[in-house]
Chain A
Amino acid sequence: MSGPNTDYDPVEVTPLKAEQVEAMREAALTAIAQAGSLDQLKQVRLDHAGDRSPLALANREIRALPPQARKEAGQRVGPARGAVSRALTERQAALEEEHEARILVEEAVDVTLPWDRLPVGARHPVTTLSERIADVFVAMGWEVAEGPVVEAEWLNFDALNLGPDHPARTMQDTFWMDPAENRVVLRTHTSPVQARTMLTRRPPIYVVCPGRVFRTDPYDATHSPVFHQVEGLVVDEGITMAHLKGTLDHFAASMFGDGITTRFRPSYFPFTEPSAEVDLICFVCRGVDSEECRTCRGEGWIEWGGCGVVNPRVLVACGVDPDRYTGFAFGMGIDRTLMFRHGVEDLRDVFEGDVRFTSAFGTEI
């Protein structure tokens, strides 16, 4: 920049004429409005608002005017430049928005393309059902007891009032470990866990024992030499069959829904007296118009398991004072429960490891 302008132009320069300034403004605004893209707008900005744009040059001319004319010229040029600048900003924003919207549209993909790159895992339904059952009881303050599957004959039978010549020993055909004189068996039920619990804890005892059990059954759609049971045991003062009923009703409702209760029928188990079979109101038809029900096969009830008052002979063999304590026990098949609760038709599906079966149950049940 040079020093103050003293070289006054005696006449008003053409570009500062009102109509000229107005024309520049109009041209700029038109060009801005016509700019169809950000790139065009960039050029428009150079042409009409850049250092060498007519309005910028006009602005510079103001300084060459005599002082008395400057004010008037400034009042013409200033607002014109302001209008152009505002128009540019607005147009810029509009074009940016337009541009963004178009890019996003162009980037659209087919979201229906399948994505199964990562394998989906699953836990076995016998595991998750066992856990769910355990959780029902843990929520009531019970604990989960465990024991070995290869078990001493005494714990599997004798301690449970199944003496060597008890007819019930043939009811549950037993796998014997070789040599049989060693008196070791594959447990035929989870009841030895109950015996172990009584032998290693003091009452009050509230435990549930899920686990794997073995019987020399053939392997077919409804039988398996390996299967799973859950048993419950309570030993406390003043325990009655009413507590057993209350517990099983609660268990039934927790597993099958509100209003599902149980029914007892007299039965026989060496380790309980009195003993009962437990039936469950069919959770599908609820005992109403059962004829067509596939779950209970028209019975309205589903056989669920066995239960009873712990035989005092068992308490004695397990070191519990039968004069002070009474108890109850119950047991049911986990695989069987899985089958009727989830419509599994062939028990072999449970043990064959077919991923289609397990995957159908996900990670919780």
Chain B
Amino acid sequence: MRAPVSWIREYAALPADLSSTDLAARLTALGLKLEALEEAGGDITGPLVIGRVLGFDDEPQKNGKTIRWCQVDVGSANGNGKPQGIVCGASNFEVGDLVVVVLPGGVLPGGFEISARKTYGHVSSGMICSARELGLGDDHDGILVLGPDAGESGDDAFEALHLREDVLEFEINPDRAYALSLRGVARDAALGFDVSFTDPAERSTPAPNDNGYPVVVDAADGCPVFVTRTITGFDASAPTPTWLSRRLQLAGMRPISLAVDVTNYVMLELGQPIHGYDRDRLSGPIRVRRASAGERLRTLDGVDRELSTEDLLITDDTGPIGLAGVMGGETTELSGSTSSVVIEAAYFDPVSVFRTERRHKLPSEASKRFERGVDPRLPEAAADRVVELLVSLGGATVEDGVTKVGEPPAPTRVTMPADLPARLTGMPIDAATAVAHLREVGCEVSLAPAEGAEVLDAVVPSWRPDLTDPFDLVEEVARIVGYDGIPSVLPSAPSGTGLTTTQALRRRVGRTLAGAGFVEVVSFPFVGTAAFDALGLPAGDDRRVSMRIANALSAEQPFMTTTLLPGLLEAAARNGGRGQGDLALFETATVTLPRGGPAAPILPVDRAPTEGEWDDLQKSLPDQPWHLAVVLTGERERSGWWGPGRRATWSDALEAMRAVASALGVELSVRSAGRAPWHPGRCAELSLGDVLVGHAGELHPKVCAAYGLPPRSAAAEVDLDVLLQHATEPVGPRLSSFPVAKTDVALVVPEQVAAADVAASLREGAGELVESVRLFDVYTGEQIGEGRKSLAFSLRLRAPDRTLTEEEVAAARRAAVDLARDRHDAEQRT
């Protein structure tokens, strides 16, 4: 909403010395948030005067142009009273016309300084201005020709053109519909400075009668009030006076023609959208009804629209002529030949207008106001104001018929304890203050004694449909008292229990990985089929079952992702493209796993859901577990002056997962597996007992290629929720101070035997004396024989209560080797 300050002052008796900045600050504090304060015309410096064209000579030039050498009377503004000689390129004016002249020394917008200069063989002493050059619009087809009543030669053009004006531009919140009018802004300005307010809507209007243009309302739910007035003998060629067109322009609307400008002016002034119909193009009575199936309407914007049966229409005998409250139709549009106008001022149901506007994606100045709620008592006054202006400015005659169908709804009544403002805001607001401020916003207020606090009863004004509840009244009182007066008091919460275990552990996981050199990534959870293909997920893969977003921003990524890998791999590729190829990335986030639940219920809001309703609601949602994923590319340890680095391998992905598991106090078991997007021979399945947790390993070469990652990049993804559920608290170990016995075992096993299984067997075989079993070498080669490998383990044995004897150590070692031999066809290497 753009409000010229002079227009605000017309209704609010603001102090003359009040600056626009202070006015804007006060209105912002009242809830009308200032977006911009524009000093219109502030970039023009005079002398800028009205001039009368005394005569001119058209002089054709060599370049094909014709210029006019004009003699212009600028009164005494040039200091000598003689005609001013000015060269002008335009030709849209006649001798005797009033024009706008900027004299030498003046400055036009853009820092364009005017001086007397020699051009086309004359000394041109100034410039005749176009509307655009003065910042008065886009018109640059010719110079600005003023109406004959604009003023006298030599008059200051700033005043005549209303050039200088401060304009406040506000962001109006949906609850403050009244502030989409000067009437509303001025009312707040007046109460903000405690000065008198003149309501422009307060005017005596003729009583409705049966002589007006006939109107039938079939859909009273959508159109509670419909008022028409009719004027005839309107001069469609009458110009819009400068003051009116300038105000429209400052308010952000384009002047079009007098009739249209007047309807827009009254909308801005009062907040009531007005529609004008060319009476000669109407056939039969106006009828307000819902559209029938299949009906169509060509709206003023030239679009042919198919209507919904919910759309509220204005129709005549020919069919639809307008979408009520949203946009008119072409057939009855006002035109240059219109002489009789039927003026419509109605109150349409906000929801109906809102739905139609949304359905047709047709926001307009009218719909913006109707959907927020226009003052339902306004139509008569607004229509009367339009009549007044068309009569005085367009030479029209008003007919005495006044049509009014329907009545505005009864005013809203809100009662509340008079101490509620104090209790909710924490400010010491007594009943008298609350009453006074509510009266300022237009409420009729009374106080009644009651047990405890007095009861405040407010009849809400018709222009405040947003005030329905006691808390709404509290906000009105509070904003006038001022939010700055709210004290700052820290509430004391009951002792909390801190982060939940899960929350604390999630942090621990992040810290563990960052400590291990991984960098965290936050990516979008959107994914497309192309990503699933790039990962090489087979047709039936569970990760391809994803939820689609109905209105995704990108047609390529319409799904909620089921895996964190696409986002991470893209981030890795992006880094690679930016010259950072040695990467260890991780992400923790939720993924979306559909489970085909029922539709979510829309529950009542006047009570909490029942247990059954709550369950249904939960069931409608997908599973959204937290996942953890890592990706590694390039060097895990850098090469440098100390020697070669070490490239990341499948084992680094596993090590990352082991580090996380260890931080959570769980031990992952590892099995060989085959799952996309991993290398089929280098993929590990990670589990906790029988529970699958995730996978880790080297990425399939095709996946590396698809994402443009270095060969042998590695990745892992696990279900973090499962890991966290199994997390254990550390238990203090019993430390034996007896010496450790170390013994190494080299076993030759068939190549396909998993090292982890052999280690487990050694551990089990050696029994309770085992402190640790660590694989320290893997060897294959001729000495070992085809299809076999040698695994070298070091065993540490220790007893809690004694030094182990050589016999005990030998026995444990033997038992370990025996079990490995039985289970894995392992021979001891000698």
Contacts and interface: CB of A to CB of B under 8 A. Distances in A.
Interface of A: 113-124, 126-127, 131, 134, 138, 140-144, 146, 148-155, 158-159, 161, 163-168, 170-171, 175-184, 186, 199, 204, 206, 212, 216, 218-219, 225-226, 234, 236, 238-247, 249-250, 261, 263-268, 273-277, 309, 311-313, 316-319, 326, 350-356, 358-359, 363
Contacts of B351: 165
A245 B483 CA distance: 10
B592 A150 contact: yes
Contacts of B425: 240-242, 274
Contacts of B636: 119
A240 B605 contact: no
B539 interface: no
B645 interface: yes
16 contacts: A121-B518, A140-B493, A141-B493, A142-B493, A152-B620, A153-B602, A154-B617, A204-B494, A206-B491, A242-B487, A245-B488, A264-B484, A266-B31, A313-B469, A355-B583, A359-B519
A177 B620 CA distance: 11
Given A154-B617, A326-B424, A199 B523 contact: no
A237 B174 CA distance: 30
A141 B491 CA distance: 11
A276 B510 contact: no
A287 to B, nearest CB: 14
Contacts of B490: 140, 243, 246-247, 249-250
Nearest to B588: A127
B175 interface: yes
A123 B514 contact: yes
Interface residues of B, number: 110
A148 B621 contact: yes
Interface string B329-362: 0000000000000000000001100110010000
Most B Cβ at <10 Å: residue of A134, A149, A355:
A355
B696 to A, nearest CB: 18
A43 to B, nearest CB: 42
Interface string B518-542: 1111111100000000000000000
A184 to B, nearest CB: 5
A219 B605 CA distance: 35
Nearest to A164: B602
Interface stretch (B293-301, B498-506, B807-815): B498-506
B520 A124 contact: yes
Main secondary structure, interface of B, reads: loop
B519 to A, nearest CB: 5
Contact of B33 (A204, A244, A277, A352): A277
Contact of B599 (A183, A206, A266): A183
B640 interface: yes
- Top 8 A-B pairs ranked by shortest CB distance? A242-B426, A353-B571, A319-B608, A266-B31, A274-B475, A268-B173, A119-B517, A240-B426
Contacts of A352: 571, 574
A317 B499 contact: no
Interface string B599-638: 1111111111100001001001110100000000000111
Interface of B: 28-31, 33, 173-176, 350-351, 354-355, 358, 371-372, 423-427, 469, 471-472, 474-475, 478-479, 483-484, 486-500, 503, 507, 510-511, 513-525, 547-553, 560, 567-568, 570-572, 574-575, 578, 580, 582-585, 589-590, 592, 599-609, 614, 617, 620-622, 624, 636-638, 640-642, 645
| Highest count of chain B CB atoms <10 Å: which of A161, A241, A316, A363 | A241
Given A140-B493, A265-B28, A274-B471, A121 B517 contact: yes
A209 B571 CA distance: 27
A168 B33 CA distance: 17
A146 B589 CA distance: 13
A118 B568 CA distance: 21
A122 B645 contact: no
A198 to B, nearest CB: 8
Nearest to A244: B486
Contacts of A138: 496, 498-499
A183 B620 contact: yes
Contact of B549 (A123, A143, A177, A274): A177
A122 B636 CA distance: 15
Contacts of A186: 549, 560
A168 B174 contact: yes
A154 B600 contact: yes
Nearest to A166: B174
Contacts of A277: 33
Nearest to B351: A165
Nearest to B524: A226
A166 B373 CA distance: 12
Nearest to A114: B640
Contacts of A234: 491, 493
A226 B472 CA distance: 33
Given A117-B638, A199-B609, A353-B571, A206 B486 contact: no
B495 A141 contact: yes
B489 A351 contact: no
B487 to A, nearest CB: 4
Nearest to B479: A266
Contacts of A316: 605-608
Given A199-B614, A234-B491, A268-B176, A151 B605 contact: no
